[in-house]
Amino acid sequence: MQESVSLAAMAAPHQKFTNPIADTDTAGPGDASRLTIDLGALAGNWRRLARLAGPAETAAAVKGDGYGIGLEAAGAALDRAGCRTFFVAVPSEGVRLRRVLPRATIYVLNGLTAGNANALAAAGLRPVIGSLEEWREWSAWRADGGQGEAALHIDTGMNRLGLTADEAQSVASADWQQQGLALVISHLACADTPAHALNQLQLERFRAAAGLFPGLPASLANSAGIHSGPDYRFDLVRPGIALYGGVFREGVAPLDVVATVEAQVLQVRDVAAGEPIGYGAAETVKRPSRVAILCVGYADGYPRASSSTDARSGASVFLHGQRAPLLGRISMDLMAIDVTDIPAARRGDWTELFGPNIAVDEVAGFAGTIGYELLTSLGGRYQRRYTGGV
CB-based burial of residue 174 (10 Å sphere; 0-12 exposed, 13-18 middle, 19+ buried)? exposed
DSSP character string of 160-215: SSSB-HHHHHHHHHS-GGGTTEEEEE---SSTTSTT-HHHHHHHHHHHHHHTTSTT
The per-residue b/e assignment along 234-266, b for 16 or more CB within 10 angstroms, e otherwise, is bebbbbbbbbbbbbbbeeeebbbbbbbbbbbbe
Using CA atoms, how far apart are residues 240 and 255, in angstroms rounded to an integer?
12
Q: Label the pairing between strands 57-58 and 60-61.
A: unpaired
Residue type, 351: T
d(CA 291, CA 286): 12
Q: Name the catalytic one among 16, 107, 244, 279.
A: 279
> According to the annotation, is 332 in a ligand binding site?
yes
At a CB cut-off of 8 Å and minimum separation 6, what does 144 contact? none
- Parallel, antiparallel, or unpaired for β 259-271 and 85-88? unpaired
Annotated binding residue 335:
no
Told to judge if 298 belongs to the known catalytic residues of this protein, a careful annotator would answer: no
Annotated catalytic residue: which of 16, 63, 232, 372? 63
3-state secondary structure of 276: strand
Respond yes or no on whether the N-terminal peptide bond of residue 356 is cis (omega within 30° of 0): no
Contacts of residue 31, defined as CB under 8 A and 6 or more positions apart, other chains included, come to 295, 381, 382, 383
Active site residue 286: no
Catalytic residues: 63, 279
Binding-site residues for substrate: 160, 332
